[in-house]
Amino acid sequence: MAKYESKAIRNLAIVGHGGTGKTSLCESLLFVAGKTDRVGRVDEGTSCMDYEPEEQKRHISIGAATNFVDWEKHRVNVIDTPGDSNFTFDTKSCLRVVEAALVLVDAVGGVEFQTEKVWEYADEFKLPRMVFISRMDRERADFQKAVASVKERLGKKVTLFTLPIGAADSFSGVVDLISLKAFVFDESKRTSKSVDIPAAMTDQVKQYRDILIEDIAETDDDLMNRYLEGGELSPEELQAGLRKGVTGGSIIPVTCGSAVKNLGITSLLDSVVQYFPSPVDAGESKGTKPGTDEPETRLPEESAPFSALVFKTIADPYSGRLTLFRVYSGTLTSDTVVANPARKVTERIGGLFFLEGKTQKPVEQLIPGDIAAIAKLKDTATGDTLCADKATILYPPVIPPPPIISFALEPKSRGDEDKLASSINRLTDEDPTLKFHRDDQTREMILSGLGQIHIEVTVEKMKRKFGLEVNLKTPKVPYKETIKGKTTVQGRYKKQSGGRGQFGDTWLEIEPLPRGAGFEFVDRIVGGVIPQQYRPAVEKGIVEAMAEGVLAGYPVVDLRISLTDDSYHTVDSSEMAFKIAGSLGFKKGVLDCQPTLLEPIVNIMIEIPDEYMGDVIGDLNSRRGRVQGMDSIGHHQIIKGQVPLAEILKYAPDLRSMTSGRGTFTYEHSHYEEVPPFIAEKIIAESKKEEA
């Protein structure tokens, strides 16, 4: 039996812009709650939450990590999420499975673009949240300015729960506006101790305490009436009002502190257990009956059928897969079988674990609200629902965003191609935002993802986990060739060198077809001079020659070739001879048909804050892009248009730097178009050079 009940669980995702101190805050929580003996440091590579070597090398979080602390008879599960936009799918997947978000805003930088993104995700999941103004001890830390940026950029009313005592060098603790006590941290006893509120802060404390009480009163008509009539609200009423307001989302508390100084952490933990909802408060979980659109729900009760949602998968070279999930209903014990309705399979549950960073702590039984891990599931992936075999349900998963940048992978040692595919498959398994395929035309192995760091990290993991080293190259653009004119041409192959000769003779009519039509071969011979069996050979010869192109080695498309006449020789003709004749005729004829290059054009959708509009459109024009429409949502613009693929191979880092990271985009293949002559010349010259 678990030592706590579902109503004593708090699930918290720590989110925010990159580098705002999320991981450090987790380390501080673990220390203050007495779980660790020393505070892990991101910069020294001693953080238990940033445990992957790729994180330690860069001093940033790349994947989410989970841990838990016990605080005031509550189990607080904390998920540390990455702030970098390359890894937001992980962040969003974590927000999907918690009851509350702790949003970090840096005391110096205020709200940044990634803060806005995670805020939107929290809105999407209707999550209660708390803002923590972090790194208050840093030079130029300014609590009020940071709070002002929250009000301005996140457009929400927020309520201060604590006030900082001092700032930067002089930051020494917080005043809790609810209990009206000041707290400083006593490093030696590892407890925060209550001290007198500094006299200089009396007026300020009163002012913000009044605002707090007014915000609480607004949560309840009864309280409001009493408050307006000048009555005092009891501490219990305030508590109850706060809980209602925070849980319902009408009150967004703001606290502050410093992770490296362990300041403001106890107030934070207190607020989390007192005001954030438990899995029981969150009520029923909504899903559908597998295979239908019919709603299906589960109550967060131990007696309900088991259900859980997988929010992360970690590939391990030795122990296989580690699957992280959150239980919504029922109980789960090891050595049972559960269903995975999305994959139409059942999975055997071996050992169950709680994770403390990378450390696995075995657990016997899980209850609603628990966040845990299972090793070695066979078919289960991120986003899947696991549930009781006899009572299935599907929870809506977070859909991975489409990739926006691609690289060609080239193994450093020859012969590693097969190993490459299998290792990559293990990594795409762990990360659904990675896509891998072999391009039929260019024969390159293409890895696509959400940004340059994303791909680089993947390549590093491949080396570390599977011992495979690859070079990254910009992928080739899959150009094609076509014709604009028509002609009639003779394709003739004759070889007489003693013995049996070779003879094939054809007349071909070559003409262009509309874009996207592909290739048509028409047999227009009437009467039939030559045996039927040779005609497919002509087509085969043409198709093979088409694949190799005539201008720059790209496949020729959108044309019709009609076989109009031919002659043959009873002895010397063969399928081979007609194949060669067809190929020769094609190569000769196409050159008379104004051959030209085609390039892939993509539909692109770019979302940017208003102020970057001019720059982004100017840049898009310089990439030969065409703007087709614009929409504005709030302070954001959505630009829709078309642009050649060749011009956006590096768009992800370019847009990032153009918009200070605030712009995002997606694209998809649309169609092929003729390459402008001056660019075609360059591509043809390039290909000739390569061939030489």
Ligand X SMILES: Nc1nc2c(ncn2[C@@H]2O[C@H](COP(=O)(O)OP(=O)(O)OP(=O)(O)O)[C@@H](O)[C@H]2O)c(=O)[nH]1
Burial zone of 92 (CB within 10 Å; 0-12 exposed, 13-18 middle, 19+ buried): buried
Whole-angstrom Cα distance, residue 144 to residue 133? 10
Determine if 137 is a binding residue for ligand X (CB under 6 A): yes
Query: Is the Cβ–Cβ distance between 393 and 304 less than 8 Å?
Result: no
Q: How far is the CB of 43 from ligand X (least distance, A)?
A: 5
| Binding-site string for ligand X from residue 640 to residue 659, where x marks contact by CB under 6 A and - marks none | --------------------
Determine if 23 is a binding residue for ligand X (CB under 6 A): yes
Total Cβ atoms within 10 A of residue 519: 16
Whole-angstrom Cα distance, residue 630 to residue 7? 47
Q: How far is the CB of 126 from Mg ion (least distance, A)?
A: 25
Q: Select the span of 15-23, 308-316, 363-371, 408-416 touching ligand X (CB under 6 A).
A: 15-23
20 contact, one of Mg ion, ligand X, none, CB 5-8 Å limit per kind = ligand X
| Binding-site string for ligand X from residue 404 to residue 443, where x marks contact by CB under 6 A and - marks none | ----------------------------------------
Per CB under 6 A, the list member of 8, 12, 60, 584 interacting with ligand X is 60
3-class DSSP state for residue 92?
helix
3-class DSSP state for residue 450?
coil
Determine if 535 is a binding residue for ligand X (CB under 6 A): no
Between residues 141 and 551, which has the closer beta carbon with respect to ligand X? 141
Per CB under 6 A, the list member of 102, 130, 217, 259 interacting with ligand X is 259
Q: How far is the CB of 49 from ligand X (least distance, A)?
A: 8
Q: Select the span of 22-30, 147-155, 287-295, 563-571 touching ligand X (CB under 6 A).
A: 22-30
Whole-angstrom Cα distance, residue 679 to residue 671? 18
3-class DSSP state for residue 136?
coil
Between residues 65 and 646, which has the closer beta carbon with respect to Mg ion? 65
Q: Select the span of 134-142, 175-183, 216-224, 647-655 touching ligand X (CB under 6 A).
A: 134-142
Determine if 117 is a binding residue for ligand X (CB under 6 A): no
Between residues 23 and 285, which has the closer beta carbon with respect to ligand X? 23
Helix residue ranges per DSSP H, 452-568: 452-466, 535-548
Determine if 61 is a binding residue for ligand X (CB under 6 A): yes
User: How many chain residues are in contact with ligand X, going by CB under 6 A?
Assistant: 22
Query: Is the Cβ–Cβ distance between 691 and 553 less than 8 Å?
Result: yes
Per CB under 6 A, the list member of 12, 13, 64, 83 interacting with ligand X is 83
Whole-angstrom Cα distance, residue 198 to residue 205? 10
Between residues 19 and 449, which has the closer beta carbon with respect to ligand X? 19
Residues between 10 and 39 with contacts to Mg ion, criterion CB under 5 A: 22-23
Instruction: List b or e across 486-515, with b for residues whose CB sees 16 or more CB atoms inside 10 angstroms.
Output: ebebebbbeeeeeeeebbbbbbbbbebeee
Comparing every residue's Cβ against ligand X, the nearest one is: 83
Pull the structure tokens for residue 665. 């985009």
- Lateral strand order in the sheet of 405-411: 435-438, 445-449, 405-411, 470-473
Determine if 258 is a binding residue for ligand X (CB under 6 A): yes
Per CB under 6 A, the list member of 4, 18, 249, 345 interacting with ligand X is 18
Residues between 48 and 107 with contacts to Mg ion, criterion CB under 5 A: 61
Query: Is the Cβ–Cβ distance between 287 and 296 less than 8 Å?
Result: yes
Nearest residue to 366 (alpha-carbon basis) of 408, 337, 399, 332: 332
6 HSE (CA, 13 A, CB side):
23
Determine if 128 is a binding residue for ligand X (CB under 6 A): no
Q: Which positions lie near ligand X, rule CB under 6 A?
A: 16, 18-24, 42-43, 60-61, 82-84, 134-135, 137-138, 258-260
Q: Which positions lie near Mg ion, rule CB under 5 A?
A: 22-23, 61
